[in-house]
Chains A and B, each alone.
Chain A
Amino acid sequence: MPLSRRNFMVTAVQASVSMLTLLAPRWVLAADRRPAFDATAIDAALQALGLPPPQDTAEILFKAPEIAENGAAVPVEVESRLPNTRAMLLLVEKNPHVLSARFEFPAGTEPFFATRVKMAETSRIHAIALTDSGNFYTTRLVKVTLGGCGG
Chain B
Amino acid sequence: MPDPMLIRAVLKGETVEVKALIAHVMETGQRKDADGKLVPAHYIETLTATCGGRQVFRAEWGASIARNPYLSFRFKGAQAGDKITLTWTDTAGASRSDEATIR
Contacts and interface: CB of A to CB of B under 8 A. Distances in A.
Direct contact of A and B (CB under 8 A): yes
Nearest to A92: B64
A42 B76 CA distance: 33
Contacts of B11: none
Nearest to A103: B59
Interface of B: 15, 26, 28, 30, 45-46, 54-67, 69-77
Given A113-B72, A115-B72, A116-B69, A97 B57 contact: no
Contact of A108 (B26, B46, B65, B75): B75
A102 B58 CA distance: 8
Given A34-B45, A109-B56, A118 B65 contact: yes
7 contacts: A100-B65, A101-B60, A101-B62, A108-B56, A114-B70, A115-B72, A116-B70
A69 interface: no
A22 interface: no
A100 B64 contact: yes
Interface string A104-138: 11101110111111110000000000000000000
Interface of A: 30, 33-34, 37, 72-75, 77, 92, 95-97, 99-106, 108-110, 112-119
A118 B71 contact: no
Contact of A113 (B26, B64, B71): B71
B74 A110 contact: yes
A117 B64 CA distance: 6
A110 B73 contact: yes
Could you say which of B26, B55, B61, B62 has the most chain A C-beta atoms within 10 Å of its C-beta? B62
B49 to A, nearest CB: 9
Contact of A73 (B28, B58, B67): B67
B70 A115 contact: yes
Given A109-B73, A113-B71, A114-B72, 7 more contacts: A102-B60, A103-B73, A108-B75, A112-B73, A115-B65, A115-B66, A117-B65
A120 B60 CA distance: 20
A64 to B, nearest CB: 13
A101 B61 contact: yes
Which 6 A-B pairs rank lowest in CB-CB distance, beginning with the nearest?
A: A116-B66, A73-B66, A114-B72, A104-B58, A109-B75, A37-B62
A33 B60 contact: yes
